[in-house]
Amino acid sequence: MAQPVLAPQRLDGADVTAPGATAGRRARPLLSLLRQPLNLVGAAVAIGWIFFAPDYRVFTVTTGLVIGVLALGLMVMVGWGREINLAAAGVYATSLYLGSWVYRPGPNGWGHPLVIAIVVSVAIGIVMMLAVALFSVRLSGVYVMVFTLGVQILVERIVFTQYRLTGGDQGLTTPSPHIFGYEVSSHDDRAFYLFILSVVALVLAFLQRLRHSPHGRAILLMGADQQAAVAVGVRPLRTRALAFAVCGALGGLAGILAATLYGSTPGTVNYTATTSLLWLSIAILGGFDSMVGVLAVAVAFQYIPFQLEKLHVNYQLLAGISLLAGVLCGSRGLGGRMQDAYRRLRFGPAAQRRAERPSSFTAAAEVLARADGLTELREIGPSDEVRRQSLETLERWFPRRRTEPIALAAEDVSVAFGGVRALRGASIEVPTGSFTGLIGPNGAGKTTLFDVVSGLTRPDAGVVRIFGDDVTHRQPWERAGLGMTRTFQTTRIVKELSVADNLLAGAGLRISGSLPQFVVGMPAQWRQIRAAEEAAWAIACLLDIDRYWDERVGELEFSARRRTELGRALLSGPQILLLDEPTSGLDPASSGALIGLVRRLQADLGLTVLLVEHYVKAVLESCDLVYVLTEGQILAHGDPDHVAADPDVQERYLGAGHDAAAIPWRERVAAERTGVTGD
């Protein structure tokens, strides 16, 4: 019996020999941060430096941290959700003025406790941004940006003109905060800095747990590709609203913190649309996956103009420079670049890390490794022990298999785009547990039929059934909840995230729990996260991408990206898996190896697979049942030998002529392999 191949070492040095060993570290996001020496050093510096710095520098950094709280909210909406927000200053100022009114004693306020003012300010921010999410639900990109700019202008014209609320040019005095009966005076810069630092620590803990919960991963996947997100069960409106709400909540929190920091309410001239653009540049330059990077840029934006006042460096100049620098750095920003540099210094270049971490299991390892650019990798072969562990893990993860005879059916489906009829009464039936192929020439309507079946396109006529249930009018995420997921012709992965995060983005359907439960750290919810990570590791082993577990997908070769997308679909626990040209972009050898890998997974996991593929030979070799679609209609269907011998298929699609039907398909394949004959 072959000796099991050890799984690769994590970049933090944890031993991940077994599938569950990796999950234990990643499923505790706060503890994993505390285990990193660099974070502990940073925390010590953040606390200790104030005892040696002058008061004015402490105050300047404190104001930067307050803006950093708001910028972290922008990071969620802009960096994770990929939506531009130009109303940040309006939300911040509205919360500042209304929150300080709630906290300030009469006659210019209501005199409620600070905790009430904080709740009101956060609620104001949430309501404002949820309203933006609701009214811009059908908008995206530049239109959302323009919409938020309109909200900002409305705030300036409505809220800012209420001088009794804002104080006008005179300002209104806000008392210092009282925490557990102790007054944190705004005149005591060090005490107030520690108060703000503790709030920032709580915000970071909240965002860290959000980031590793299914809700946070749904935001990241939705921001990168909405169709890929709904294919694994993500609800777009709910997820989008969550990203907007988090942005508004942190903007409102920053507003009330600023009210207590400054003591006298700042003038409205400080919170115009130009300020929104400035704060947007902080999030862009800091990067979407580095919270510390965003905070550092926010502090720098306060500190640099103060230090370089003689050189006339102002906020607007910094905003312009940071926008340019942020674009040049890409979506990961300065924080992401610094993370990459740290990883290179500690663990070496990415190619070296991969070479030092052998795969735990490979199928056609030599072919797939060559497709991944790993020409030095030796043939490892299958490890029975690792495969057994992986399949046992997935057996616990996957839902119980359904036994209805027909898993998926499309009956008399017709679709027209203007004057072009893409489908003309096409019908297919996919038996439960089968490996079914759908082939046809370019423009035959294969992808359109896939889109109809998965819910991305509504048919003009016809019915779609999943396990006998009519789902014609159900949304894609509802069909995913019934056990159907898909991949796409073009690779739909989040290039900036690791293989692990890309895989786990597909696990939301198998994890239950509300956002507060994950944020609080309820054991039941985080046990589900650990189970998801064990399943993700098992899938990574079976797909031969475990060596890339901590690598960013954008740095991988095309074949590994394809398998990562396939792994994300598998982690949703599907009953039915739709594969839309999974070998697109691969050479024939790699295409055959990948389809062979999928075929083995289908048998091991009890899946029902519908495959659209241009690589006809691999389909006819691998599939149990084959449909041929031409000009929007089913030309033929049946077992591969029957379809390959069909005269109409030979004439209109395979192009070999009627004489080729005299040669059995299996014999033709064998002849082509040995080079005796060719098509």
Count of CB atoms within 10 A of residue 462's CB?
18
Helix, strand, coil fractions of the chain, as percent rounded to 5: 60, 10, 30
Angstrom distance (rounded) from CA 556 to CA 564: 10
Residue 359, domain member (yes or no):
no
Compute φ and ψ for 81, nearest 5 degrees.
Answer: -85, -10
Please give the sequence-ordered ranges of beta strands (E in DSSP) within 390-466, or none if there are none. Answer: 406-417, 420-431, 435-439, 461-466
- Domain hosting 488: range is 397-638
Select the more confidently predicted residue: 186 or 365: 186
Give alpha helix (H) positions in 410-498: 446-454, 476-481
Angstrom distance (rounded) from CA 88 to CA 74: 8
Whether the predicted model's global pTM rises above the 0.75 cut: yes
pLDDT band at 351 (very low <50, low <70, confident <90, very high): low
Compute φ and ψ for 615, nearest 5 degrees.
Answer: -80, 85
State the total domains in the chain: 2
Indicate if the pLDDT at residue 92 is higher than 90.
yes
Instruction: Give the H/E segment covering residue 278.
Output: helix 273-286
Distances (CA, A) of 339 to 8, 150, 336: 21, 36, 5
pLDDT of amino acid 361: 42
pLDDT of amino acid 197: 94
Mean per-residue pLDDT for 329-342?
Answer: 75
525 contact partners, CB below 8 Å, separation of at least 6? 213, 511, 512, 513, 517, 518
Reference 443, options 651, 629, 648, 637; nearest CA is: 629
pLDDT of amino acid 27: 63
Mean per-residue pLDDT for 48-76?
Answer: 92
pLDDT band at 284 (very low <50, low <70, confident <90, very high): confident
Q: Which amino acid does the sequence have at 352?
A: Q
pLDDT band at 19 (very low <50, low <70, confident <90, very high): very low
Q: How many CA atoms lie within 13 A of 349 on its CB side?
A: 4
Indicate if the pLDDT at residue 138 is higher than 50.
yes
Domain boundary among 252, 282, 312: 282
pLDDT band at 343 (very low <50, low <70, confident <90, very high): confident
Residue 450, domain member (yes or no):
yes
Beta carbons of 569 and 492 less than 8 angstroms apart: no
Distances (CA, A) of 11 to 221, 480, 627: 24, 34, 46
Which range has the worst mean pLDDT, 157-171, 307-321, 541-555?
A: 307-321
pLDDT band at 585 (very low <50, low <70, confident <90, very high): confident
pLDDT of amino acid 12: 38
Beta carbons of 152 and 276 less than 8 angstroms apart: yes
Phi-psi region of 92 (alpha: psi -120 to 50; beta: other; left: phi over 0): alpha
Would you give the DSSP letter of residue 182? E
With b meaning 16 or more CB within 10 Å and e meaning fewer, what string describes 255-275? Answer: bbbbbbbbbebbebeebbbeb
414 shares a domain with 269? no
Q: In the structure encoding, which two tokens stand for residue 400, read together?
A: 């119980």
Count of CB atoms within 10 A of residue 339's CB?
18
Classify the C-alpha dihedral 375-377-382-386 as positive or negative: negative
Which range has the worst mean pLDDT, 94-108, 151-165, 180-194, 201-215?
A: 180-194
Instruction: Give the H/E segment covering residue 121.
Output: helix 114-135
Residue 278, domain member (yes or no):
yes
Q: Measured at the alpha carbon of residue 575, what is the angle toward residues 571 and 577, in degrees to the nearest 5?
A: 70
Select the highest-mean-pLDDT range: 12-16, 488-492, 669-673.
488-492
DSSP codes joined into one string, 65-105: HHHHHHHHHHIIIIIIS------HHHHHHHHHHHHHHHHSP
Residue 550, domain member (yes or no):
yes
Tokens 């006809």, residue?
A: 616
Q: Which amino acid does the sequence have at 646?
A: D
Residue 529, domain member (yes or no):
yes
Coil, strand or helix at 14: coil
Provide the mean pLDDT of the chain: 83
pLDDT of amino acid 9: 36
Angstrom distance (rounded) from CA 419 to CA 522: 55
Beta carbons of 558 and 490 less than 8 angstroms apart: no
Please classify residue 421 by burial: count the beta carbons closer than 10 Å to its beta carbon, then call 0-12 exposed, 13-18 middle and 19+ buried: middle
Coil, strand or helix at 391: helix
Domain boundary among 255, 282, 309: 282
pLDDT band at 662 (very low <50, low <70, confident <90, very high): very low
Beta carbons of 338 and 38 less than 8 angstroms apart: no
pLDDT of amino acid 147: 94
Residue 94, domain member (yes or no):
yes
Angstrom distance (rounded) from CA 8 to CA 404: 40
pLDDT band at 678 (very low <50, low <70, confident <90, very high): very low
Give alpha helix (H) positions in 511-580: 515-520, 523-542, 558-571
Mean per-residue pLDDT for 371-388?
Answer: 58
Residue 648, domain member (yes or no):
no
pLDDT of amino acid 341: 77
Indicate if the pLDDT at residue 91 is higher than 70.
yes
Beta carbons of 537 and 567 less than 8 angstroms apart: no
Distances (CA, A) of 486 to 162, 467, 494: 53, 16, 16
Mean per-residue pLDDT for 649-658?
Answer: 65
504 contact partners, CB below 8 Å, separation of at least 6? 217, 532, 533, 536, 571
Indicate if the pLDDT at residue 268 is higher than 80.
yes
Select the more confidently predicted residue: 212 or 324: 212
Tokens 């910094």, residue?
A: 318
Indicate if the pLDDT at residue 103 is higher than 60.
yes
Give alpha helix (H) positions in 420-507: 446-454, 476-481, 499-504
Indicate if the pLDDT at residue 372 is higher than 80.
no
**pLDDT 10s digits, 612-633:** 988 888 888 889 999 999 888 9
Instruction: Give the H/E segment covering residue 124.
Output: helix 114-135
Indicate if the pLDDT at residue 674 is higher than 80.
no
Select the more confidently predicted residue: 193 or 385: 193
Count of CB atoms within 10 A of residue 678's CB?
7
pLDDT band at 664 (very low <50, low <70, confident <90, very high): very low
SS3 readout for 349-377: CHHHHHHCCCCCCCCCHHHHHHHCCCCCC
Residue 75, domain member (yes or no):
yes
Indicate if the pLDDT at residue 16 is higher than 60.
no
SS3 readout for 282-324: HHHHHCCCCHHHHHHHHHHHHHHHHHCHHHCCCHHHHHHHHHH
**pLDDT 10s digits, 597-617:** 889 899 999 999 999 988 888
The CATH number covering residue 447 comes to: 3.40.50.300
Domain boundary among 239, 263, 282: 282
Select the more confidently predicted residue: 68 or 344: 68
* Residues above pLDDT 70, as percent of the chain: 84
Length of the chain: 679
Tokens 């000796």, residue?
A: 3
Pairing of strands 484-486, 469-470: unpaired
Angstrom distance (rounded) from CA 124 to CA 587: 55
Angstrom distance (rounded) from CA 8 to CA 548: 9
Angstrom distance (rounded) from CA 386 to CA 540: 11
**pLDDT 10s digits, 230-257:** 999 999 999 999 999 999 999 999 999 9
Indicate if the pLDDT at residue 377 is higher than 50.
no
